[in-house]
Structure 1
């Protein structure tokens, strides 16, 4: 289930630093990428194993790069 628009906007502000974003222009694909990014970051913070934290943050960085590139391509 997708995050609500306010939660997506908050997530964008926290993790990307993108302040001037039109939430209405977010495609479903980009919204799902940002949701995945948010969930992976949450699980990385909750994990106690060093290796799992490393894997979560590795996945976060991959999703972050894809999400930002997707957003930049549409500007």
Structure 2
């Protein structure tokens, strides 16, 4: 819902950081980075950096979860 609202506001000419911040769904540091990207004209680079950061986080969590589950699976089998 927050993204839908943000998209509506952007189509009206608003910057994206404002509407995303009002919904309190996006972390503050991400909002600040998006705002900086909008102000400097480097939003594409900032969003790319954020995407890579969160992809790395997902990979790390998935890897850790797999490592934790392996001993349990061996006990069951």
In which range does the TM-score fall when normalised by the shorter chain? 0.3 to 0.5
Q: Which has the higher contact order (CA 8 A, sep 6+)?
A: 1
Q: With structure 1 as the length reference, what TM-score do the two structures score?
A: 0.41
Q: With structure 2 as the length reference, what TM-score do the two structures score?
A: 0.40
Structure with max Cα Rg = 2
